[in-house]
Amino acid sequence: MFEKDVPLIARKELAVKIPGPVVICPSKIEGVEFLKKYNAWGFISMTEKRIPYFALYVGRPESSVLYFGEIESITQPLRSREELIKIQEKDTELFEPGKRVIHLKPGTLVRFKDPIPLKGKKSAPRGLRYTTLEKLVQANHIDDL
């Protein structure tokens, strides 16, 4: 119903972008619907606010870094659900005070034709990770990030 077609690109196509840090967030497969629906990623704890890029690691059955987008804004730590903009009540079950929402620039969300796979189960991202755009483009496995 909210399935938006996300453009497929090869990671090497990102090499033309300005180098910078990338925040990688982990997700279950169900989280992808939220990402596509709101062009945003929600309810995370992070201190760094000047990050230009976002990537999403999707767990089983994908087990790879699959999505990428350019960050438009990151909210201040939210105090209540009422501060959420553009996100419907039914999609706020994971909300906790103090968490932030990353809003992506419209039209920048893409899916990788060549996702970055997990090498072994032990290296699955459990929380936020930071990397660089260069490493994201060149990585063979998640361990390379």
> Which residue segments constitute the domains of the chain, with CATH numbers given?
8-134 (2.30.130)
Composition of the chain by helix, strand, coil, percent to 5:
20, 35, 45
Rounded Cα–Cα distance for residues 7 and 13 (Å): 12
Q: Rounded distance, CA 97 to CA 92, Å?
A: 11
Residue 86 DSSP symbol? S
Q: Please give the chain's pLDDT, 145 residues, in tens.
A: 344 589 999 999 999 999 999 999 999 999 999 999 999 999 999 987 789 999 999 999 999 999 999 999 999 999 998 888 788 988 988 888 999 999 999 999 999 999 999 987 677 788 899 999 999 999 999 999 9
d(Cα 59, Cα 72) in Å, to the nearest integer?
25
pTM of the model: 0.92
